[in-house]
Amino acid sequence: MSPSGKVTPEQLFSGSLHALKQGMIQALRQAKTSRGTRRTTAAGASFVPESLRIVHRPEDIKHRRVSGHWEGDFIKGAFNRSAIGTLVERKTRFVILCRMDGCTAGDAMEGFTRQMKKLPAFLRQSLTYDRGSEMACHADLSKRLKLDVWFCDPHAPWQRGSNENTNGLLRQFLPKGTDLSLPSQTMLNDIACLLNGRPRQTLGWRTPEEVMAEEMAKWSSGVALDS
């Protein structure tokens, strides 16, 4: 208040703008003030070899020139006791959700293997992940799926930007605090289908499903020509 005991216009509008800002943030789909916020992970860099750092990843992956290169992550459920694996293909933004039996590295290896094994080999080229402890079995996962695994720098979620954005969209269906051991793989497939049917500006307003279908058609025609 001013010395006269009256509220000044500056004080009035300052409070109003603050309330308006908070209301607008809550209305956002992900309720965040900005994207690219720093996130810490439970694991350090001890299990990540220098040779698998993202700085060594081929340029074709970085520039999304070919399909078959994925970004991966865990989203955790209530009390960090359950998890779902999320995969986003970098070129097409196609989403795959993987039911996990738990939160351990072994669970991650089994869950990711189970779903990615269903993909044709040309769509299993690489996986870029953060340094979460669930990827401690990355060598076995790489061998099982015959793909390369690359690791982001510590606390750099923007290096997996497509996956981070997808995780935010996924929380509309599976809010924080949900027990993620409850959804079946069928339910997760249905949610992924909804995400893959959303037009994306970055894809020229086509859907990930449409762009992935184009990639599959190119591969099929190439196989036919080679046979």
Q: State the Cα–Cα distance between residues 110 and 107, nearest whole angstrom.
A: 5
When pLDDT is cut at 50, 70 and 90, the band that residue 31 belongs to is low
> Which residue is associated with the tokens 């196989």?
223
> Which residue is associated with the tokens 């208040």?
1
Helix 161-170, helix 185-196: angle, nearest 10? 110
Query: What pLDDT shows up at residue 171?
Result: 94
> Which whole number is the average pLDDT over 173-192?
97
pTM score of the predicted model: 0.79
Amino acid letter, 48:
V
Q: How far from the centroid of its chain's Cα atoms is residue 138's Cα?
A: 17
Cross-strand bridge partners of residue 97: 86
Looking at the structure, give the CATH architecture of the domain made up of residues 50-163+170-188+196-226. Answer: 2-Layer Sandwich (3.30)
Query: How does pLDDT run across 88-147, given as a tens digit for each residue?
Result: 999 999 999 999 999 999 999 999 999 999 999 999 999 999 999 999 999 999 999 999
Tell me the domain boundaries of the chain.
50-163+170-188+196-226
